[in-house]
Chain A
Amino acid sequence: MSGSAVGHLEHEIHESRTATYLLVALILTALTAAEVWISYIPALLPVLVPMLLVLSGAKFALVALFYMHLHYDNWVFSGVFVPFLFLAAFVILVLLGLMMRYFSGF
């Protein structure tokens, strides 16, 4: 492939990615607005935690996949990052579980 063809291809990828980045920013804004909005609705309080977890999880995934390029990059990077994320979730859940039981007297 000639140098100009490579340059053209790079430019096309750049343009398509820019559109994706803007779309992701738009979705992130919308999801954040939704999060804030539902946090003000008293009736949603019983389901607020799962709803917020889903919404923030979606935002997290969008940034990780598109801005951090896990969607485009070598699988090794996901292979490094994702197990850490599971362990992080494990730390939060187990500590929370153990300490809640402790505070509630088992």
Chain B
Amino acid sequence: MAALPKEIGHEETYLEGGGILGWLTTVDHKRIAILYGVTVLFFFLLGGIEALLMRIQLARPDSHFVSAYVYNELFTMHGTTMIFLVVMPVGLGFFANFIVPLQIGARDVAFPRINALSFWIFLCGGIVLNLGWLGNAAPDAGWFGYANLTERYYSPGLNVDFWSLGLLISGVGSILSGLNFFVTIINMRAPGMTFMRLPLFTWSVLIMFILILVAFPPLTVGLIFLVMDRFFGAHFYDVVAGATPLLWQHLFWLFGHPEVYIMVLPAFGIMSEIVSVFSRKPLFGYPVMAYSTVLIGFLSYGVWAHHMFAVGMGPTADAAFALSSMLIAIPTGIKIFSWIATMWGGELNLKVPMLYALAFIIQFTMGGLSGIMHAQPAIDLQQTDSYFVVAHFHYVLFGGSLFALLGGLYYWWPKVTGRMMSEKLGKWQFWLTVIGFNVTFFPMHLLGAWGMPRRNYTYLPYMGWNRLNMLSTVGAFIIAFAILLLLINMAMSLRDGERASADPWDGRTLEWAIPSPPPEYNFERIPIVHGRDVFWLDKYGTGATTHGRISGGASASDVGVAALEAEPATEIHLPSPSIYPLLIALGMTMAIAGYLLWLRIALTGVFLTVFTVIAMAFEYPAAGAEVHSAIGESTGLDNRKVGIWSFIGSESIFFASLIATYMVYKGRDLVGPTAETILNIPLTSTTTFVLLMSSLTMVLAQDSFRIKSDRWGRRWLLATILLGLVFLGGQVFEFHDFYMRGLSISTNLFGETFYTLVGFHGLHVLIGVIILSCLVGASYFGWFDERRRDMAVEEAALYWHFVDVVWIVIFSLIYLMRAVTKA
């Protein structure tokens, strides 16, 4: 059991001490960022090797360097790796993790142990995704895994199992990160750090994390359906059973297009930081840039079906999604013009990060322009599944996102490591990457226009594609060489690179106000912020616009004298290391993926997860200091309460996806029994009443604890547990009864949607019962201090009531509307 939060010596940097165990148990956001960085680098190299093997295969026509089967594995894993294990986690795991707390003036994230848990879950998910390589069974159905190719009948091997389960696992990590950073940015900003003073990078990742919370639940639901189909004989995507594979496409792209912005928004944020610092000017049009970021996030949730124009959704849907897709070009265009306007009249400092920023603007704009072409359904139909599309998204994600991320790596490397990278080697690496990138991907526009389809493992020699394919392969090897130079540069810097000062680029934001590398506690005293670009103002005073020059015309609302004040020095408390995040991640991975090997592994994983989650919840039984630090600086609200509300919000989208599927398939069963013939309304009305009353007992328990009547609090909690168990008992009886009457999960569409939706709700009730039981025990044995107990009860109550309101909806839609034949 870990000790109370420790006090640390003021001379340590975050990199020192702890040994391997220190890294395995770390909860420091900066160390976790390093763990993400190293893992992502490994996956980046893996994905890069996969790309090179594909390019070797395509360099010549009629090539048999790899088989068609291996080629399928390569393109599937290249896409999956680069998207889920590289570009997204490097943004949210490395950059956001390291930089956001520093930029907002916080000592760590809102939930440090959950931050560590997110990383370990991500790592486990990445390993499961790649396990197939060991048994010649790597995923092979494409990175968006279209149904019904992914059904057991068409993909009988383990390939798709590794893919679906790996993504399910890593998705949990992403959602946890989303919750954590959403709360951190909302609640933990330093005094005075209003939203209109937030650095643009933090703005961008805030929207990215919100997108994660709303975009991942539909993917999770889609993957659950796939797992149900493959393991339990359901037919969510099976046409023969009356279902449609189109459901997968909607659920996947509901996630998939916001995912593009999840990958691009951090890049936008990095760009804004770099362009402003290396132009030595404030960012042009800051408020509009912030609003554009919000607008991009908002619009990105309404454009997903532009990936599905070729499906044939009808003219109305096509027109609506074409319109929304074109609209998103407006806020994106605003950003590009704002970066250019920031550079205009600035003192450009063409260091490596700025070179990447310039290349980003050009290449991303090219990718954006070809994207607008795809937003037009008639043109999209010609380009779908051609190399033109491959060129487009590589210009966006490589020429755009990855270039910005590389620029960000050079920019923040001195802060992360305390050492500078070689500028000379960096410039060589930059130019080789630019040349390699454009030589590789620009020809793909032409190949696509000339009809070369994507994902074909070879082509005939007389198609006219030979030279451009060879050129593209040469470009890929130039990129590989450039990446090798990057690795050499990083290694040389770490070994004997020039020591970095705290502020090597003359930065504008708070992270440059502290030493490089930062101390474990980040800020000795929490800063008080009086203006935007607070560190710049602190260095150059009121009215400073460019380096060394003071202009008198600056707005009084934007600047402040002595911009960087600080709260009085107090004792610094940081959370202690914990082994539980690692153990929970292992347990979850065993529970989800262990089934592939042996059922007992999965069951062991379930027990390990439950045990370690409970153990982590009670890790600090009397940590009064932790309670104090849980109150947000910027809102005065408790992090945990903001966190549980965001969790509930994300869960709403999860249940909405399940409910939508039930309603879509309602009345389309080819065989019975159906809702109308089998549902037992008197029984379910009774259990519904019981669940509603459990909300009453729960809220009475909460009130009793609040007025310090622990005994009554425990009694009401026990009553809630009892009512929850009665509800669950009713559900078990109902499921058993239906099964005996011939309704299994594989019987018809009603069976699979009913059991999945109602079953997941029941699982939530069961988890609630376990949580409440723990609370009763903790209260009885006095494991909580008063404040911590009240907050724990409040969180549990919110979760319980949420489960209740979900049931209110389910009861109406499934049970009471049983006679409504079609939605």
Nearest residue (CB) in B for A102 is B246
Nearest residue (CB) in B for A73 is B641
B650 near A56 with CB under 8 A, answer no
Indicate which residue in A45, A64, A76, A106 contacts B819 across the interface (CB closer than 8 Å). A45
Question: Is B717 an interface residue when CB atoms closer than 8 A count as contact?
Answer: no
A52 near B812 with CB under 8 A, answer yes
Which of B397-405, B479-487, B721-729, B803-811 is near enough to bind chain A?
B803-811
A residues 86-106 with Cβ under 8 Å of B? 87-92, 95-96, 98-103, 106
* Inter-chain residue pair count (beta carbon < 8 A): 169
Contact mask A42-64 → B, CB, 8 Å, 1/0?
Answer: 00010011001101100110011
Nearest residue (CB) in B for A80 is B645
Indicate which residue in B316, B655, B817 contacts A48 across the interface (CB closer than 8 Å). B817
Q: How far in angstroms is the closest Cβ of chain B from A53?
A: 7
Indicate which residue in B655, B681, B699 contacts A88 across the interface (CB closer than 8 Å). B655
Q: Collect the chain A residues with CB atoms within 8 Å of residue B797's CB.
A: 67-68
Nearest residue (CB) in A for B650 is A84
A21 near B696 with CB under 8 A, answer yes
Given contacts A39-B816, A96-B823, contact A60 B808 (CB under 8 A): yes
Question: Is B19 an interface residue when CB atoms closer than 8 A count as contact?
Answer: no
Considering residues A28, A74, A83, which has the most beta carbons from chain B within 10 angstroms of its beta carbon? A28
Q: How far in angstroms is the closest Cβ of chain A from B622?
A: 24
B820 near A48 with CB under 8 A, answer yes
Nearest residue (CB) in A for B244 is A102
Question: Is B464 an interface residue when CB atoms closer than 8 A count as contact?
Answer: no
Question: Is B703 an interface residue when CB atoms closer than 8 A count as contact?
Answer: yes
Which of B120-128, B508-516, B660-668, B778-786 is near enough to bind chain A?
B660-668
Q: Collect the chain B residues with CB atoms within 8 Å of residue A60's CB.
A: 805, 808-809
Q: Collect the chain B residues with CB atoms within 8 Å of residue A85's CB.
A: 649, 652
Given contacts A10-B707, A76-B642, contact A95 B660 (CB under 8 A): yes
Question: Is B564 an interface residue when CB atoms closer than 8 A count as contact?
Answer: no
Q: Collect the chain A residues with CB atoms within 8 Å of residue B254's CB.
A: 91, 95
Nearest residue (CB) in A for B819 is A45
Q: Collect the chain B residues with CB atoms within 8 Å of residue A63's CB.
A: 695, 801, 804-805, 808
Q: How far is the CA of A81 from the CA of B647 in the complex (A)?
A: 9
Q: How far is the CA of A24 from the CA of B314 in the complex (A)?
A: 46
Contact mask B414-446 → A, CB, 8 Å, 1/0?
Answer: 000000000000000000000000000000000
User: Chain B interface mostly helix, strand, loop or mixed?
Assistant: helix
A77 near B660 with CB under 8 A, answer no
Q: How far in angstroms is the closest Cβ of chain B from A97?
A: 8
Indicate which residue in B213, B688, B700, B703 contacts A32 across the interface (CB closer than 8 Å). B688
Question: Is B689 an interface residue when CB atoms closer than 8 A count as contact?
Answer: yes
B801 near A80 with CB under 8 A, answer no
Nearest residue (CB) in A for B709 is A14
Instruction: Give the contact-size bracket for chain B.
Output: 35 or more
Given contacts A48-B820, A63-B805, A102-B313, contact A11 B649 (CB under 8 A): no
A49 near B820 with CB under 8 A, answer yes
Q: Collect the chain B residues with CB atoms within 8 Å of residue A92's CB.
A: 656, 659-660, 663
Indicate which residue in A17, A39, A48, A88 contacts B656 across the interface (CB closer than 8 Å). A88
Q: Collect the chain A residues with CB atoms within 8 Å of residue B809's CB.
A: 56, 60
Given contacts A14-B707, A60-B805, contact A52 B692 (CB under 8 A): no
B313 near A101 with CB under 8 A, answer yes
Q: How far is the CA of A72 from the CA of B802 in the complex (A)?
A: 17
Question: Is B114 an interface residue when CB atoms closer than 8 A count as contact?
Answer: no
Q: How far is the CA of A106 from the CA of B312 in the complex (A)?
A: 9
Q: Collect the chain A residues with CB atoms within 8 Å of residue B313's CB.
A: 98, 101-102, 106
Q: How far in angstroms is the closest Cβ of chain A from B183?
A: 9
B695 near A17 with CB under 8 A, answer no
Q: Collect the chain B residues with CB atoms within 8 Å of residue A64's CB.
A: 801, 805
Q: Collect the chain A residues with CB atoms within 8 Å of residue B798's CB.
A: 68
Q: How far is the CA of A90 from the CA of B214 in the complex (A)?
A: 11
B700 near A18 with CB under 8 A, answer yes
Q: Collect the chain A residues with CB atoms within 8 Å of residue B706's CB.
A: 10, 14
Question: Is B362 an interface residue when CB atoms closer than 8 A count as contact?
Answer: no
A52 near B802 with CB under 8 A, answer no
Given contacts A35-B812, A92-B659, A96-B664, contact A14 B703 (CB under 8 A): yes
Nearest residue (CB) in B for A26 is B696
Question: Is A22 an interface residue when CB atoms closer than 8 A count as contact?
Answer: yes
A91 near B653 with CB under 8 A, answer yes
Question: Is B178 an interface residue when CB atoms closer than 8 A count as contact?
Answer: no
Q: Collect the chain A residues with CB atoms within 8 Å of residue B815's CB.
A: 39
B645 near A81 with CB under 8 A, answer yes
B664 near A18 with CB under 8 A, answer no
B685 near A95 with CB under 8 A, answer no
Given contacts A21-B700, A25-B692, A28-B692, contact A11 B805 (CB under 8 A): no
Q: How far in angstroms is the closest Cβ of chain A from B644?
A: 9
Question: Is A1 an interface residue when CB atoms closer than 8 A count as contact?
Answer: no
Q: Collect the chain B residues with CB atoms within 8 Å of residue A106's CB.
A: 313-316
Nearest residue (CB) in A for B218 is A91
Considering residues A28, A48, A64, A84, which has the most beta carbons from chain B within 10 angstroms of its beta carbon? A84
Q: Collect the chain B residues with CB atoms within 8 Å of residue A21's CB.
A: 696, 699-700, 703
Q: Collect the chain A residues with CB atoms within 8 Å of residue B660's CB.
A: 91-92, 95-96
Question: Is B646 an interface residue when CB atoms closer than 8 A count as contact?
Answer: yes
Question: Is A36 an interface residue when CB atoms closer than 8 A count as contact?
Answer: yes
Q: Collect the chain A residues with CB atoms within 8 Å of residue B804's CB.
A: 63, 67
Question: Is B455 an interface residue when CB atoms closer than 8 A count as contact?
Answer: no
B652 near A67 with CB under 8 A, answer no
Q: How far is the CA of A98 from the CA of B513 in the complex (A)?
A: 52
A35 near B816 with CB under 8 A, answer yes
Q: How far in angstroms is the closest Cβ of chain B from A27?
A: 10
Nearest residue (CB) in B for A85 is B652
Q: How far is the CA of A8 from the CA of B316 in the complex (A)?
A: 62
B317 near A98 with CB under 8 A, answer yes
Q: How far is the CA of A84 from the CA of B655 in the complex (A)?
A: 12
A18 near B652 with CB under 8 A, answer no
Indicate which residue in A11, A59, A83, A87 contacts B808 across the interface (CB closer than 8 Å). A59
Considering residues B317, B635, B637, B696, which has the most beta carbons from chain A within 10 angstroms of its beta carbon? B696
Given contacts A68-B801, A84-B214, contact A91 B642 (CB under 8 A): no
Q: Collect the chain B residues with CB atoms within 8 Å of residue A48's CB.
A: 816-817, 819-820
Q: How far is the CA of A46 from the CA of B692 in the complex (A)?
A: 28
Q: Collect the chain A residues with CB atoms within 8 Å of residue B316's CB.
A: 101, 106
Nearest residue (CB) in A for B684 is A36
Q: How far is the CA of A51 from the CA of B655 in the complex (A)?
A: 22
Q: How far is the CA of A59 from the CA of B807 in the complex (A)?
A: 11
Q: Collect the chain A residues with CB atoms within 8 Å of residue B213's CB.
A: 84
A32 near B689 with CB under 8 A, answer yes
Question: Is B499 an interface residue when CB atoms closer than 8 A count as contact?
Answer: no
Q: How far in angstroms is the closest Cβ of chain B from A42?
A: 8
Q: How far is the CA of A67 from the CA of B808 in the complex (A)?
A: 14
Q: Collect the chain B residues with CB atoms within 8 Å of residue A29's CB.
A: 689, 692
Q: Collect the chain A residues with CB atoms within 8 Å of residue B693's CB.
A: 25
B816 near A52 with CB under 8 A, answer yes
Q: Collect the chain B residues with CB atoms within 8 Å of residue A14's CB.
A: 703, 706-707
Question: Is B208 an interface residue when CB atoms closer than 8 A count as contact?
Answer: no
Q: Collect the chain B residues with CB atoms within 8 Å of residue A17's CB.
A: 703
Question: Is B476 an interface residue when CB atoms closer than 8 A count as contact?
Answer: no
Q: How far in angstroms is the closest Cβ of chain B from A64?
A: 6
Q: How far is the CA of A60 from the CA of B655 in the complex (A)?
A: 14
Instruction: Add 13 more A-B contacts to A80-B645, A84-B649, A103-B244 (CB < 8 A).
Output: A18-B700, A21-B696, A35-B812, A36-B685, A36-B816, A45-B819, A56-B812, A63-B808, A77-B645, A80-B186, A91-B657, A101-B316, A102-B246
- 5 pairs, A vs B, C-beta closer than 8 Å: A25-B692, A28-B695, A52-B816, A63-B801, A106-B316
Chain B residues engaging chain A, CB cutoff 8 angstroms: 186, 213-214, 218, 244, 246-247, 250, 254, 301, 305, 313-317, 635, 637, 641-642, 645-646, 648-650, 652-653, 655-657, 659-661, 663-664, 668, 681, 685, 688-689, 692-693, 695-696, 698-700, 703, 706-707, 797-798, 801-802, 804-805, 808-809, 811-813, 815-820, 823
User: Which 6 residue pairs are nearest across A and B when measured between Cβ atoms?
Assistant: A84-B649, A88-B656, A106-B314, A56-B812, A39-B816, A95-B660
